Structure 1
Amino acid sequence: MGYNSTQNYLKLLAQLAVNENVNHDIVSSLIGYVKPIYQSDLNNRYSEPMLWIGLYIALASLCCILAMVADLVHGLKSRKPWFPCKYFSVNAASLSVISVAMKLPVDLSGSMPGDVDQVAKLGSMAFMCTMMANLLPCLATMDSNELLTNIIALGVLVITMVVNVCIQIETGVISYKEDAHLLKTVAKKYDLESLGINKYRNTIIATLYVTLLLVLLIIHVCSSLAILKSKQIIESKYQQGHETASKDVRQSTGSVLTIEKLKQHVSDYWVMSGSGSPQFIIACSVTTTASGVICCLTTIMHTLTVSWSISAMLKEHYDSDYKWSTVVILIVQFIGVILGTVAPLSRCFATLSFKAVLSSFGETTENLELRRYVLQHENEMELAERTLEGFSKSMNRLIQKGEKKQPNNLKKLIEEKSTPGFQGVKKFDNSHYVPALLSEVEYQECWSLPVVTLTAIAVTLPDIEKVEVDSLLKSVREGLEYVMLVEENLNTSGDYVSVHKAAETLWQEVDVCHKWLGDKLQDIASQVNTTASQVERTRQIVQLFMEKAKIKIKEGVSSMDIGGTNGDSECKSICANSMSRVTRTIINDKEIENELFKELSSWIADIMAACLTNLPQVIAMKCHSSEIEKREACVQAAARLLGETKEMINTLQGHDIPRMSPDDLPFIDKWLAYLSDP
């Protein structure tokens, strides 16, 4: 099936051989053409997948375009006219996709005789110039090792492409030397221009693209060196600003960080992270302006080239093995060149508006305060007033966005159930003596574990309206998100890690699976005597949890005695220990059995409220990061958190917060000690 020409030719030779009227010398000479015909059949067969390869090239190009458009949309949405790279950046994955998209100019052996084929090859080079201009800001997001690795990889790709294109110019794959020579020899009467062939035009355009690619590569290398030095300068200035800003939020005993102070603190770091953002720094550089100009020139050249080939596309002048897929590649990459030019060109104009020589006339007092935290090089002009105001507005928008996601269920629980001074922190664990069995497991107390333990008991109690249970679960679900955030930031010593992990695992089991350490809560509830009074059934539920806790503790101790410390066994022991202490407290207090659900809800509200008094400290901490590449994301997270919790913070600060040392506030055991003996 794949060698029809060869088979037909051999049949013809066989017929001639048996024909007595045909000279045998002629047949012998014709046999010499079998090999080239066979090779032609082989080439045709091997070129069959090239159509799909062409579509694969177009798909890879489309992926690059979508990433550039995503960055464009992100820049517009976040109102950053320097369009920082978030989705399209230099890494192993993107370079692999780019190398696929650049197959046409890299291909040395593929013949591209048609006008459309030639323009598609030139268009790939234009597309590469556009992508390099878009990739420039992403270099600032890398550390020195990543920067070196990725620049070398990009350099290898660009240099390989440039060398291959130069070879193709010389061999005539781009310049039409072979086609032109053939036409001159066979049909001298034809005018090459009338055939749409210009052996010099494509050579000149390809040479220009090669030059621009090399210039862009030099720009990337120079920018990389400048980035390393700029980061050192900015880092020094950031540390000065960090020290100044930290002084404003240092707490003394009994003092609180108000929303106004927190907002000012976030604003200070927002300006430092924005003006000191590596991508913002490189966006303000002359290399970015140069890359934008090159990108603009590339777009103009490619637009003209495509306009000259419109008639060729309509006449289907594509004669390569890629067939009609070259048209798809040409169209997709042309769209990429056009769309990829909004961002680099905008950076050129935006750079002019970022910096301006300003006098203090007309500046607001707020902006004068913020200007202290602007990070810039010594020889740079001052940040324009409009740019500074833009930083403040973008922060306010993010805070407002966070305000739409406030934990209303948690806020309602704390407002309705918490007690003055958060006495539930002391009440939930009044066990003064610990049995010998429990002493086998020692752990630091944390905020989240007792909340999960109390919730597991509360949602299992009999005769409680479903709406109340659901409301408590929603409140705890919202609250634990912030409680665990406090623990992750303020309870970071090794002693707390296993307890935090145990609490997180247990909560997933209680909330999602409705179980406690493998036992279904519904099965526990079904074991009580249904004929008994509500108080008696409540007591039975608590006792069942206590008995199961003792069993789990014994299993954990036995497991550790046999095989050493086991993560799962340790987690179960910690959770069971917490349940044992809580249930003992409940059983020892006969007065709370009548309204146990209400009492447990109050304890849960007090524990979470006491923990969340540390939210201002967490927000202040999240503003700062020691890694320059992560500072912008950190302060954005702090702004969102401030928006989400500002009403909660105001509510908590309206309570009677114990006058404890700020260093003790993050730890529940310090609260227990203070409330027991204030």
Structure 2
Amino acid sequence: MHSLRHKRLWFPCRYSALNAASLTALGIAVKFSMDLTTLMPGTYDQAAKRHSALFLCFSTAHFMPSLGSMSDRVIIVNLTTMGFFIVMLDVDVIIQVLTGVIEDDFQAVVALAIVCMFFICISSALTVSTRKRYLEHKYNELHTRISAEELQGDEIGDFDKLKSRVKKYWVMAETGDPQFVLARSDASCVLCMINVYIGIFDGFETFTNNKPEIASDYKWSVYLVYGTHCVGSFLCLIMSMGRLVVAMFYMSRNIRKCTISRISLEIKNYRINRLVEWKTRLPPSQVRYQKLRKIIYEIRNLLLDICIRTQIVIVIVNKLCWACILYFAYKAVVMFQHLDEELILSLSYATVIVYMLMDVVINRWLKAIKKFFLRESEVSVNPNESEHGLGYEKDLTNFFLLLESEAGIEDYLVFINASVNSFIMMGAKDQPKYLMGLMENSTSFDGVLKFESDQVSPIICKEPHNCWSLSMATLTSIMIALPNIQNEKRNQLLRSAIEGLKYVRLIEKSLDVDKKLVSSTTAADFAWVLVEMRHKWLDMDLRKVARVSKSSKETLQNLANKSEEILKEFTSKMNGNAMESPINLPENVIIANSMYKTSKTLLLVYDESYHSASDTQVFERLSVIIADIFAACLINLPHVILKKCNNSPIEEQLRSIEEASYILGATQGILKALQKREIPNLLPDQSMYIDEWGTLLKQTNDCISDPTSSSENIITASSGEVHLNIQELRASATAEALEIDEGDAESHVGGEIEELEDEEENNQA
């Protein structure tokens, strides 16, 4: 159901892998009926024995992909155990067939098929480590390519870009999942076809059985065993058919690549690579005698040569088998085309009549199937993807992790997109509505500065590192203890804190690489359990404090006095001894230190700003502070999501990305709200520490409130320069005016002189 729900038709072995528990259950189910050596002529007696071997046959094919997620040592242990189990079952079958206990010779054929399937599993197991190394190498290359496009600044909080990046990692993780690589291999295809053929023959044997029904001597137990085997075999057969469909998808695209050179390359790089490595190793150094070492060396090489040749034969047979499968599928289509025209016409009429009679039901089924496989949540659809869907999908195909002999199929992206969106949609249905309602009160990150002040002098010398979760637990304890507050508001705040602390713990656990916050987070967990479950801060009943206190100031004072008492008692015990390091401080001391600094700071704020406010107003203002702290902490969510996408071994990568996709869907409302804010410029290794946030916000506020003297000098100097320039302009303008006046006067005098000279010349004439 998990695989169908998330559109994985190849049915990964997440809950039914090959391990000690599954082998034990399989042994009980199979050997229970096979170990009965008495004559069992009853119909259901024989059917129970036959289905014991069938169940083991189907289970062998079902467990094969789970080998991809195992280490070499675990593979050897599990296959060795299963090998002994198969040998014992085959011996039982042969003995009981020869002695007449089993009357059906078909069971001997099934036993032989189990042996063949087991050898195919061993052949595939030899390629697991080589394939993993190749896939990890390709994964690292693509991860480097994605990291080269690292989101900068505010882009990392962009929901659409973050989702696009998660999808790329999902494509890499799913197509490169070692279980999926084995499930789509030709070996898996052959195993699935063996299961299908055996299932068909068993069904034919069951329906054509004309033997008289004889009651079993074992009564109801045989019917129970038979029914259990039938259910298990049916489920394994369904999963085998799903894997066969997926394998056929991939193999149909690999037909062009199925050449002699390609097969030779696959054999050399994957199939016999491990055996060749073993062959080149030196003989064991524990053997001292040279001749004995040489004998061991030659025998080992001889056995490895046999294994290499056997491996090559198995590969070639697998290739021929799936080629035959494709050929038979083609012949079936051709045969259908050459059917009698009257038969085709009759089938067409029957189809039309059935469709007319059941039009509504059929359309409803088709819509349900389409919605099941192709649906996308509205909250998870990227508008850029819908506008440029073809280009986006083409870009995603570049992140397929494939072996050298494989070809990618773009059609499978439909199922991958459906898988991603199903997890995002699951998360979207589980969004923290109370936390989102609380964060609507936050418009900035100033609350990070308001809950602890440097004016409060510490009692212990070496204080532990502060952390988000401890601050949240302390503030929530204070708010629960405030008097004259409605219970509905208290409960709503508590639900908001419960939802928020889930993500706060995730952030601290994922990003605290240096383990600086281990002691603080441990103390925070201890404090929060008491607050959530018992409404207590250490041994103080917060509800009782709320009933007894007459004002918010009295509540803060009581909490401050209690925490101060704990700290002074601790320091008095440590008097004369070396003070313990912050890492080794007791949990109650760390909790008390946080409460002391927070309550004392809020008392200072109360005297300055809250003295005229009612208890309800104080509660609302503290709600804004805690909302600001949540907002500052949840800025780190994109870093957590991206880290989960690339911080696990390749066999666990898909599960980690599933968690990342779920978190992305659950927090998309928060991410979109934070995306609209102006986020301080902090590195990821700084933004996850609340102390770093406080330092940055203090520096920012100091720069805004107190301009530097250098800037004042610059402004003064520039003002002086402007003033001088204006005076110079005025002086030059005055001088120019005077020059113009003097020029006019000179021209006027010159004109009069010229007129007098002209008059004198006329008189002389």
Q: What TM-score does the superposition give when structure 2 sets the normalisation length?
A: 0.69
Tell me which residue corresponds to 2:416: 391
Q: Is the 8 A contact 1:620 1:638 kept in 2?
A: yes
Q: Which residue of 1 aligns with 2:690?
A: 668
**Residues in 1 aligned to 2:68 and 2:412: alpha-carbon distance in whole angstroms:** 20
**SS of residue matched to 2:652:** helix
Deviation at 1:115, TM superposition (A): 4.6
1:344 corresponding residue in structure 2:
240
Equivalences for residues 10-25 of structure 1 within 5 A: none
What secondary structure does 2:481 align onto? Answer: coil
Q: Does 1:103 find its partner at 2:15?
A: no
* 1:402 pairs with 2:427: yes
The 5 Å alignment of 1:256-405 reads: 256-309=156-209, 311-313=211-213, 315-316=214-215, 318-319=216-217, 322-354=218-250, 357=253, 364-381=390-407, 383-405=408-430
Contact 2:61 2:192 in 1 (8 A): yes
Aligned counterparts of 1:114 and 1:616: Cα–Cα separation in 2: 65
Structure 1 residue aligned with 2:61, among 125, 133, 141?
133
Code of the aligned partner of 2:485 = I
1:196 match: none
Moved more, 593-602 or 291-300: 593-602
Q: CA shift at 1:250, angstroms?
A: 4.6
The offset of 1:145, in angstroms, is 2.4
Assess, with a 3 A threshold, how the Cα gap between structure 1 residues 550 and 271 changes in structure 2: closer, same or farther. Answer: same
Instruction: Please report how far the alpha carbon of residue 408 of structure 1 lies from its aligned counterpart in structure 2 after TM superposition.
Output: 2.0
What is the CA distance between 1:232 and its match in structure 2? 1.3
Alignment of 1:202-217 (within 5 A): 202=104, 204-217=105-118
- TM superposition shift of 1:324: 4.6
Alpha-carbon displacement from aligned partner over 1:345-401 (angstroms, at most 9, x marks no partner): 222122122455499xx99211221122110011112x2121023212321232122
Report the Cα offset of residue 274 of structure 1.
1.1
- Which residue pairs with 1:65 in the alignment? none
State the partner residue of 1:228: 129
The change in CA–CA distance for 1:665 and 1:324 in structure 2 (over 3 A counts) is closer
Partner of 1:482: 503
Greater mean deviation of Cα atoms: 216-225 or 328-337: 328-337
Q: Match for residue 297 of structure 2? A: none
- 1:18-53 alpha-carbon deviations (Å, 9 max, x no partner): xxxxxxxxxxxxxxxxxxxxxxxxxxxxxxxxxxxx
**Alpha-carbon separation, structure 1, partners of 2:242 and 2:547:** 68
1:112–1:609 Cα change, 3 Å: same
Give 5+ residue unaligned stretches, structure 1. 1-72, 176-201, 531-536
Larger Rg: 2
* CA deviation profile, 1:93-121 (whole Å, cap 9, x unmatched): 11111111112464164443445423321
Instruction: Tell me if structure 2 keeps the 8 A contact 1:367–1:389.
Output: no
RMSD value, Cα: 2.6
SS of structure 1 residue aligned to 2:195: helix
Residue 562 of structure 2 is aligned with which of 548, 569, 591? 548
Q: Return the alpha-carbon distance in structure 2 between the equivalents of residues 323 and 511 of structure 1.
A: 55
Aligned pairs, number: 560
Alignment correspondent of 1:577 = 593
Q: Structure 1 residues 263 and 307 mapped into 2: Cα distance closer, same or farther (>3 Å)?
A: same
Question: Which deviations, in whole Å up to 9, do the C-alpha atoms of 1:520-564 show, x marking residues without a partner?
Answer: 112323443x5xxxxxx2211111101111222245556778998
Alpha-carbon shift at residue 297 of structure 1 (Å): 2.3
Partner amino acid, structure 1, of 2:599 = T
Please state if 1:219 is matched with 2:114: no
Aligned to 2:512: 491
Question: Which digits, 9 at most, give the CA deviation of each residue in 1:215-235, with x for residues without a partner?
Answer: 111121112112222111111
Label 1:557 to 1:323 Cα distance change in 2 as closer, same or farther (>3 A).
farther
Deviation by residue 1:414-444 (Cα, 9 ceiling, x = unmatched)? 222x243x11101111133534x422x5211
Q: Do 2:60 and 2:117's aligned partners in 1 also have CA atoms closer than 8 Å? A: yes
1:31 aligns with none
CA–CA distance in structure 2, aligned partners of residues 305 and 325 of structure 1: 23
Q: Structure 2 counterpart of 1:430, which letter?
A: S
Is 629-638 or 139-148 further displaced after alignment?
139-148
Cα 1:137–1:434, aligned 2, differ >3 Å: closer, same or farther?
A: same
1:122-149 CA-partner distances (Å, limit 9, x unpaired): 2211121112122222222222222222
Residue pair 1:105, 1:124 contacting (<8 A) in 2 also: yes
The equivalent of 1:628 in structure 2 is 650
Q: 1:86 is paired with a residue of what secondary structure?
A: coil
Per-residue CA deviation, residues 459-492 of structure 1 (Å, 9 max, x unaligned), is 1111112222222222212111111111111123
Aligned-partner residue type, residue 405 of structure 2: N
Instruction: For 1:234 and 1:464, locate their aligned partners in 2 and report how far apart those are by CA, in whole Å.
Output: 59
Q: TM-score, normalised by structure 1?
A: 0.78
Percent identity of paired positions between Structure 1 and Structure 2: 32
Q: Which residue of 2 is the match for residue 448 of structure 1? A: 469
Partner of 1:619: 641
Q: What's 1:605 paired with?
A: 627
SS in 1 for 2:417: helix
Deviation at 1:663, TM superposition (A): 3.6
For the residue of structure 2 that corresponds to 1:373, the secondary structure is coil
Gaps of 5+ in 2: 257-387, 701-765
Q: Kindly tell me: are residues 352 and 558 of structure 1, through their superposed partners in 2, closer, same or farther at Cα, counting changes over 3 Å?
A: farther
Q: Do the aligned residues in 2 keep the contact of 1:560 with 1:566 (CA within 8 Å)?
A: no
**Alignment map for 1:58-73 (pairs within 5 Å):** 73=1
